[in-house]
Structures are given as structure tokens and as C-alpha cells.
Structure 1
Amino acid sequence: MTVVPKTPDSAAVTDVDEPDPADGSVLVDGLLLGICGTDVEIAAGDFGSGRGGSDWMVLGHESLGRVVSAPPGSGFAAGDLVAGVVRRPDPEPCPACARGDWDFCRNGRYTERGIKEADGYGAQQWRVDPYFAVKVPPELGRLGVLTEPASILTKAWEQVDQVGARSWFEPEHVLVTGAGPIGLMAALIAQQRGYYVHVLDRATDGPKPQLVKDLGGEYLNDLSDLKVVPDVVIEATGNGKLVLDCAGLLGPGGIMCLTGISPGTDTIDAAMDPLTRQLVVRNAAIVGSVNAGKRHYAQAVDVLAAADPQWLGRLITRTVSLERWTEALEKGPDDIKVVVDLSGESRPKS
């Protein structure tokens, strides 16, 4: 699965060389590759950069593969299911990267598989350093492709917990904005924690409303229908107006974690002085969260393993073959998570 970075309409199926041993000592057969909005934007030519000296880049960062070979002492063996970590620290680590917090890189010189200066996991075979591989339990099977998106939310919830620890913090009501894969993962974790879950999304039919209801949550199409004061908001749309509206709903000590990024450039008029006053007097906090560290991948595996596998399986709404992978870039009306079958083991679905 290749693109020419910053070149629209360059997405293609390409024969490439064997994976570079410099990418890692663990050789992996690619099984599934999840597609997200970042991949769509890279394929549209909006951003992205390949490894030095190459005109093209292997796309894909939501990985699931099966180990072909691994060195002794690596912690991996042939047949293991694995997901690859996306981000790598910069070559001369900043203080955050040096301690393993590359998701908090201070100088921007990190690399990211399939996004920034490194080939991704969208290939029939790939390599990974053992440190940047996460073992997926065999009972998860193909659902292990959800590990990377789930890691985004385990980090986001960690951020909420860390901010909440500034004082007494026992949240009850959680509002999630957006019922895509990220929003539904946020709702799943909230449900696993025993919180009351409220999910806002524009879709009025399709699978989203029932998925939320099956978590025991409330599904909303309009923010005015929310009848409680949220203790936590997980914002997964990136819509600026919605961010401001939700900020105004936060109760005392409330926390909003921003996980969504909008590709738009809309501007809005906002009465910021009253909102700022409200945030200050309520000790409310807004924090952004991007990417994930290695521990968040391990936590994501735990979240997935604890979930109802039938519910998780309904998040994967379409599977396309490697030969037709560009079809995954076009989102259908009922799509939640579209995945590419890299191996031919999963029957393509229309």
C-alpha cells in the first residue's frame, strides 16, 4: 500500500523490496491494516513524508501481523500475533523521548511508521524492533487490529486521570463527542470503568446508535438533549464550535480531553470572556492528547481483551483486499472501521 507523499491520487498497490532489516529484527507477515482519517489525508496529499531518499512511502499505522521469525530473547516467537507501535523517538532524544515518552516529543524530530519519514505496516511483510512490538493474545484474533486506535484512548484516559488527581475526582457522567472508532473506544473504556456514558453523533441510523445502546449508554444527536452535567468530555471530532460548546458544559473540576483533529479551516465567533471565567471559577481543565506510548498499547490490549468480542467485531464494518485497498479510502455511510486484508485470510466484504 503505497503513496507518494503530498501528491494527490498517488495511492497504489506497488511491488517493493523485502522489508529492510534496519527496521527491526522481528519479521512479520502482515494480516490486517486499519484505515483512519490520517491515512485518507495522506492519500489526498495533505501531508506525510517518506524515508530519506525515497519518492514513495508504504502507508498504514494500525497494524496486525503474525511473527515469521524473531531472535532468541526478544520475547517473540513464530506464530505470535503482534501490533507495531507507530512513533519512534528522535535520533538525538529530547528529554521526553529519552525516557520513553516519545508521544510527548518536544522538538518534533520523531518519526512515525506510515506517516512521517518511515514506511508503514501496509505490506504483506514488515519488520519491527522487538521494543516497538506489542504481543496480541491469540483469542483476540483479527480484533487485534484495533490495538492502535484503542491505545489513543488509553492514553487519553490516562491524561484525564492525571489531571483529575490534582484533587478529589470521582467522575460519574462522561460525554463522548463523535461515534467513530475513537469515540466508540472512548465510550467502551468509560463503560468498563463503570461511568454513565453519553455519546453525541450526527448519525440517526446505521450501526452507531445501537452500538452505544449495547454499552448501556445514551445516544444523542443534539447537545441540548444532554440532561446531565458531564464530569469528563472526550472530544473526538475536532469541530471547533463543538469544543467550545462542550467546554461550557463542564462542571466543577471537570476535564475535557481533545483527541480529534479537524482538517477544516472554519472560523467561529465566540464569547470567550464568559467561557474563560466559567472555566476558571469551576477549576475546569482542557487537555490535548495525541499518539500513544508503549504502555498505552499494552493497556489497549487489556481493554480489548475485556470487551465483548461480538461488540468489538461490529466496529469493523468493511474489509477490502490488498489489491483493492484504495477502496478503503472512500467512507461508506455505515462505515466505522474499514480494514485491509493484507494476507488473503479474511474474505473481502462488500
Structure 2
Amino acid sequence: MDFMEALECTEPGILNLVRRPVPVRGADEVLVRPRRMGICGTDFHIYEGKHPFLAYPRIMGHELAVEVVEAPSASGFARGEMLVVNPYIACGSCVACRRGKPNCCTSISVLGVHRDGGMAGLLTLPAVNLIRAEGLSLDACATVEFLAIGAHAIRRARLDGGERVLVIGAGPIGLGVSLFAAQKGVHLTVMDRDQARLNVASGIVAGISTIVAGDESLAAIHTLTDGDGFDVVFDATGNAQSIESGFNFVAHGGSYVLVSVVKGDIRFVDADFHRREMSLLGSRNATDEDFTTVISAIRDGSVNPDALITHRTTLAAAAQDMPRWASDKTGLIKAIVEID
């Protein structure tokens, strides 16, 4: 039997290079070789044992640029073709899938979370989860997925332009939300506790009207909106306390979009929620439409993925680099694993 090398998280805090059998390709599947993989907050949460939907052991990796090794002729893909991966593998028949929302399929299987992902030498994936991205570099292809989460959150919010928008969290997901919010012509404020991240955001996202540190008082935040609050607030922190505080920033008649996910309960004051007639929206994953939006934005130059990539490693070196980056994220926006 042929074997491949993979980096497996056997339990929180433990990464090991292991040998796995080469996966068998099904009739409607494409055999691909991961070439680039982005490391995101989900991967760090898996490593730290904080992800709410995961069982160990697990091979991580869902932000992927892949090369076709073998494909059925009906797929239209050719050997050697470089593709973007939509890592949200859906059943196609549940209530969400029937409504065109495979991103929240009732039996969704996410690469690197529910099933093994990109820190492996080879993967078999449904052809429908592979997306052409002609003209994009391997690095750019590996950034499409996390940017698509931001594009999806903006689509969920149905921005018309001109709204006062607050994005809480200037990490990769928050930057993705901010990039696509700015394209809608909103009055954009970004909030984070890390001043260095805010500085990065101001250099990457055109049209930010205000950036504020996370220790600002509620009164100071409301000063930015003449006491009205923000028409739309997005939380991209993955922090329960931040999510709960964010309710206070929403204007009467406004919307709160939760892009991040945390373990446990989120609490808010029901009377205040009703008094404002606030809309509360969850934004989960992304769909092919969002991937297409991101690929188009990279092609036309309105989004520059190279500006987001700050760190690099290899598959073998990631066993040492991930623990270091998990404890010290200074200057880290997006790390790329080169799997060649």
C-alpha cells in the first residue's frame, strides 16, 4: 500500500508527522495534492483544544490551494490544474441544502474539522467543492476561503451603502469583513485590543473612517455615532466577552452579525434587545457565490492577498512553528504552509 506523510493533531497541544495510506478516489471525487495551506484561528483553536465541533485525532487544514493529480473526465478538471477548495462538504439534500445554503448543511463535513484536511500529502474531494481560479497564484488561492467568510458575512448583512458599520476584531476574518464592507461604501470603524493589528488594518483596508482600541469606554464608542450606535456591528473575535459587549454598540433598528463562534452560552439583556428591535444574525462559513466574489476581487486588484501573508512555514516545520505562533501572534495576520 502506498503511504503519504501528514501532520496530525493527536490531542490538544500535540502535533506529529505520521504516515497515512493514500486515499482512494470515488467515482465523483478528484484526487488532489495540497500545495499551499493557510493557518487560521480555527487551526489554532484545534491545536489548543478550544474548537467546539472536533474530535481528535485530526489532520488540520481547510484554507487550500491544490493541484489535480487524478480526476474523472466528467469533472472537466485536468491533471496539474491548480484549484481553490471550498472545504464545506454538504449532503445536498437536507433542508439547508434545498434552500441553497450548503454552508450550514445539517450534516456538514468541514475539511480539517470533521474530516482530515490539507496537512496531508493527498486528498480526495468532491468535484463540486473545487473552484477554478485562473490567474491567481498558489498563495492567493490559499487566502480565498477565509476572505470568503468575510464576503459571506457582508452578504448576510445586506448592506446598501452609507451605513455606520463597526467590525470588532482585526484578525484575518475581521480584515476580510472589513475589506468587503469598505467596497459597499459604508462608514467603517474597526475595533481591536491590539494596536499593531489596527495599524495593519488601516494600511490594508481602504476607506476605514475610524479605528479604535478595544479598551475604549462605551461612551467613547458612542461618540463616534453621535450617541446613536452603529447600524451594523460584526463580531469577528472568537471571544465570548467581546460578543456580549458588542450588543451595546448596535443602534435602534440595527443588526448584529456574529461571524465568530465560541464554546458555551452568549448572554444579552432581552429587554434591551427588544427595545432596540435589533436583528441578530449568525454568519457561518461561505458558499460558492462568496468564493467567486473573492476571486473576482483578487483578479481586479481590489483585494491584495499578498498584503495579508506575514508568516511562512513548511509541513515538517509547522510542528514547531504552530505552537510558537499559538502563544505569540505578534505581527501575525496570515501564515502559509508550503506543501510541495
Alignment TM-score > 0.5, same fold? yes
Deviation string 1:113-171 (CA, Å, 9 cap, x unpaired) is 1111x22122233222211111123234411111111121222122111xx7xxxx544
CA distance in 2 between partners of 1:307 and 1:96 (Å) = 33
Q: Secondary structure at the match of 2:15?
A: coil
CA distance in 1 between partners of 2:244 and 2:276 (Å) = 11
- Aligned AA (1:26): V
Does residue 291 (structure 1) correspond to residue 285 (structure 2)? The answer is: yes
- Aligned AA (1:302): S
Does residue 111 (structure 1) correspond to residue 109 (structure 2)? The answer is: yes
8 Å Cα contact 1:27-1:68 kept in structure 2: yes
Q: Secondary structure at the match of 1:176?
A: strand
Deviation string 1:38-92 (CA, Å, 9 cap, x unpaired) is 2222233455657xxxx8432211111122343334232233321222222248x
TM-score of the superposed pair, with normalisation by structure 1: 0.81
8 Å Cα contact 1:35-1:329 kept in structure 2: no
Does residue 36 (structure 1) correspond to residue 40 (structure 2)? The answer is: yes
TM-score of the superposed pair, with normalisation by structure 2: 0.83
Kindly tell me: are residues 266 and 334 of structure 1, through their superposed partners in 2, closer, same or farther at Cα, counting changes over 3 Å?
A: farther
**Count, aligned residues:** 320
What are structure 1's unaligned runs of at least 5 residues? 344-350
Percent of pairs identical after alignment? 25
Q: Secondary structure at the match of 2:312?
A: strand
Residue aligning to 2:83: 82
- Aligned AA (2:172): P
Residue aligning to 1:67: 68
CA distance in 1 between partners of 2:45 and 2:242 (Å) = 22
Q: Secondary structure at the match of 1:13?
A: strand
Which of 199, 203, 227 is residue 194 of structure 2 equivalent to?
203
8 Å Cα contact 1:328-1:340 kept in structure 2: no
Does residue 2 (structure 1) correspond to residue 10 (structure 2)? The answer is: no
- Aligned AA (1:219): I
CA distance in 1 between partners of 2:147 and 2:295 (Å) = 8
8 Å Cα contact 2:28-2:72 kept in structure 1: no
Q: CA deviation at 1:277?
A: 4.0
Kindly tell me: are residues 305 and 254 of structure 1, through their superposed partners in 2, closer, same or farther at Cα, counting changes over 3 Å?
A: farther
Kindly tell me: are residues 139 and 296 of structure 1, through their superposed partners in 2, closer, same or farther at Cα, counting changes over 3 Å?
A: closer
Residue aligning to 1:348: none
Calculate the aligned-residue CA RMSD, in Å: 2.8
8 Å Cα contact 1:171-1:231 kept in structure 2: no
Residue aligning to 1:347: none
Map 1:184-195 to 2 at 5 A.
184-195=175-186
Q: Secondary structure at the match of 2:273?
A: helix
- Aligned AA (1:8): P
Q: CA deviation at 1:304?
A: 3.0
CA distance in 2 between partners of 1:186 and 1:160 (Å) = 11
Which of 194, 207, 223 is residue 216 of structure 1 equivalent to?
207
Deviation string 1:8-67 (CA, Å, 9 cap, x unpaired) is 3332222222232139532322111111222222233455657xxxx8432211111122
Q: Secondary structure at the match of 1:292?
A: coil
